[in-house]
Amino acid sequence: MNAIIQFLKRLSSDAHTSEQIHKFHGGIHPEGHKALSNLRPIAKLTLPEKLTIPLRQHIGYIPKIKVQVGDRLLKGQLIAEAEGGVSAAIHAPTSGTVSAIAEAIIPHPSGLPDICVTLTPDGKDEWTPLQPLDWRNMSLAEINAKLRISGIVGLGGATFPAHIKLVDGTPNIHTLIINAAECEPYITCDDMLMREYSDEIIQGIEIVKHLLGAKKTILGIEDNKPEAIQAMSNACKAQPDIAIKVVPTLYPSGDARRLIHLLLGVEVPHLKRSTELGIQVFNVATIRSIYRYLTYGEPSISRVVTMTGNVNSAQNFEVLFGTPLMHLVAAAGGTKSDDTYFIMGGPMMGFNLPSKDVPITKAANCIIAATDAMFAPPPAAMPCIRCTRCADACPVNLQPQELYWFAKSDNFEKARDYQLFDCIECGCCTYVCPSNIPLVQYYRYAKSEIIAADKAKEAADVARERNEFRLARIEREKLERAQKHAERAAGAKKEAPKPEELAEKHQDDTSDQDAKKAAIAAAIARAKALKTAEAESGANKQTQNTAKQPEKQTKGTSEQPAQDKQALIAAAIERAKAQKLAAAEKSLTPKNVEKVNPAVEAEIKKIDEIREKVKMTTESQTPE
């Protein structure tokens, strides 16, 4: 212990670690239990018989599946691509064949199944062709497009897509903070990562600092990790712009806002992000993943997981995503008793896994094999005695006892007014409560109810706006129709003729119609006269031919003179009618004649010409 104290004092005098630490309000000191798993190096698991890869492994939209059952995949090949703005891709952890795409139980507090891709390894572990990136000569937009398909998310537990942090913070970032506090009990994956891969972490810091344009980098590590502090100090000796700050072991110093306050003394305001203050935070494991991807082209297919608790050989393992939980437990020597259940994450903010048949995902930084002896069931809650211990322990300076009363009485508006959503659900208040009240559970309940009410209100507001828009549209269309009718009525009134004009027009129309009718009747009469004249001409010719024939004809020829006489009489009657119609035609006034249709007038002229020809022919053939 004295050696560790002397080492930390020596580090505090180093240029890299000499800056001041700013304490935050509250916090607790739970037992660490870190020595269970940090005494052995990181081990690599053997390939399991199958890998069940959930699509829901990050915050945001579920990625879109790009494979089908029966497809053979290579290690690192794309399984599902990022869908939407906040999303991350999924890649094959090893080479093999897709054997199923179906729902399966995933590690989630709900215990509900979700879509998973089951991959059966072929044992070859054959990589797809990898493409390292020349990040020094690429634009930020190009690098972010590549990081979007890398599948890299925050490996500290938040699982926020890494490429979004680079996009959002780039214009104004001046300080990059590397979160290596690892404050929760039992978890040692970041500790072992810094011990064994410090060089890769430092190179990853240089890449991210270049992408962000940050001028300063601070690495925050708790003082209960002396080996990691020494390894990182040795690795960054040639990097004068990287400072290592050793922070006191205090839960929850690993929270991003608490760590910013510890390292810089800056309080991030309510409803603001650290990027608005020029500060960006990355987890140490995320930094290494970015380095591996940009330098070697390796997508996110595995992570270091702490397997600890009630197992025979607690240790950290490099675990492929989709590895069955029990395969990891077997690698740690199995459980010591049959009553073991499993917690994913730390004992403060983790949750009980719904089943032993769940896979390891990107969010699984630690698996604790727990028993009732390790974590006794909470006793029955007692009434609040208003001791204010919860307020003293709250790292966010809230009033937990007031929030408890508001949540219990469903007074959600009051809870919102008391900044309920600033609660980070760290569990400090529950940990120190002498009445054993599950305060965090009450806060989660109140948050879920408020979120549900806000969503319902938002849906109602959208429906109301749509209805108001519909009513406005109907009213507008009604007014437009009324305006059109008014314009038509005004136009019709303006164009309407006077009564004397209407009477004159009606008289002219009547005269025109009479003239047209008379002209048409005359044309029909001429046509009939022409037809009669042709018939008369034929009869006369036949009569002349009959007169020239010899009298030696048959007996029936004696009746011919009577028929010729009747034909001549009919022709004479038709001529009289025609003359009468012609006289009626001549009685038309010049005004009316002028208004006769030209086509009808031309037809009349034609009929007159034909009539004259027929008349001349008839007169030449009539006997004297």
The least confident of 9-13, 284-288, 390-394, 418-422 is 9-13
Token digits for 325? 């939980």
**How, if at all, do strands 302-309 and 366-370 pair?**
parallel
Distance CA(120)–CA(47), nearest Å, equals 10
In whole angstroms, what is the distance from residue 420 CA to residue 414 CA?
9
* DSSP secondary structure code for residue 127 in this structure: B
Mean pLDDT of the chain, nearest integer? 83
pLDDT single digits (tens) 182-223: 999 999 999 999 999 999 999 999 999 988 889 999 999 999
DSSP per residue, 19-82? S-----S--B-----GGGTSSS--EEPPPPS-EEEES--SSSPPPEE---TT-EE-BT-EEEE-
What's residue 200's pLDDT?
95
Is pLDDT larger for residue 553 or for residue 528?
528
> If you average pLDDT over residues 354-375, what whole number do you get?
93
For the record, the structure tokens of 614 come out as: 């027929």
Contact residues for 176 (Cβ-Cβ < 8 A; gap 6+): 205, 208, 209, 212, 214, 216, 217, 218, 280, 282
User: pLDDT tens across 541-571, in order?
Assistant: 555 554 444 444 444 444 455 555 566 666 6
DSSP output for 334-379: -BSSTT-EEEES-TTT-EE-S-SS-B--TT-SEEEEE-TTTSPPPP
Q: Is the pLDDT of residue 538 over 70?
A: no
Residues 321-342: what's their mean pLDDT? 93
Q: By three-state DSSP, how is residue 15 classified?
A: helix
In terms of average pLDDT, the best of 163-167, 236-240, 425-429 is 425-429
The pLDDT of residue 37: 94
Phi, psi of 75 (to 5 degrees): -60, 125
Mean pLDDT lowest among 245-254, 372-381, 485-494, 517-526: 517-526
User: Measured between alpha carbons, how far is 4 from 318 in angstroms, rounded to an integer?
Assistant: 28
pTM to 2 decimal places: 0.73
Q: What is the model's pLDDT at position 238?
A: 83
Q: Which of 368, 362, 360, 346 is nearest to 254 (CA)?
A: 346
Give mean pLDDT, residues 88-100.
95
Residues 100, 117, 315: CA angle, nearest 5 degrees: 120
Backbone angle region of 376, left / alpha / beta, with phi > 0 → left and psi within -120 to 50 → alpha = beta
Position 613 scores a pLDDT of: 57
- Residue 300 in contact with residue 152, Cβ under 8 Å? yes
Q: Are the C-beta atoms of 38 and 306 separated by less than 8 Å? A: no
